[in-house]
Amino acid sequence: MKTYSQKPTEVIRKWYVLDASTAPFGRVATTAAGLLLGKGKPTVTPHTDGGDYVIIINAGSLVATGGKEDKKIYYRHSGFPGGLYSRTLAEQQLQDPTKAIYKAVRGMLPDNKLRPGRLERLKIYEGADHNHNAQQPETLSVKGIK
């Protein structure tokens, strides 16, 4: 019996919708990363991009637990001496709510040549409206806090 290896022409992609206001921040990100990688499919192959499209809605009303609004800090550096800038999750949500989820999902994907293509299939929206109804996306529920 031969080992099955998926080819790029055999990939069948589906569309999924995740609601960021119903589950904690990390659970939404791990679910999205798993769907982008194609982990739930029986045809998963590490060297082929066989993942699905993921739409994340309600990024503006993100659920952060454990005081992460003040404790989680995003850093960036200008490249010059003394050019370190920091921003908390609450400040990041005020500036650009979609960026926090994007960074979390990006950090959960492997750093290889397939990552940019996977991130192109990630669509994040601040509100509940999205313009992908023609693709008939399936709504997935992420287990949240009771």
**DSSP conformation letters of 58-89:** -GGG-B--TTHHHH-EEEEE-SSTT-EEEEEH
- 105: in domain: yes
Domains contained in the chain, number: 1
pLDDT in tens, 90-124: 999 999 999 999 999 999 999 999 999 999 999 99
- 81: in domain: no
- 70: in domain: no
What pTM, to 2 d.p., does this model score?
A: 0.92
CA 110 to chain centre: 13
What CATH number does the domain containing 38 carry? 3.90.1180.10
- 78: in domain: no
pLDDT in tens, 59-77: 999 999 999 999 999 999 9
- 8: in domain: no
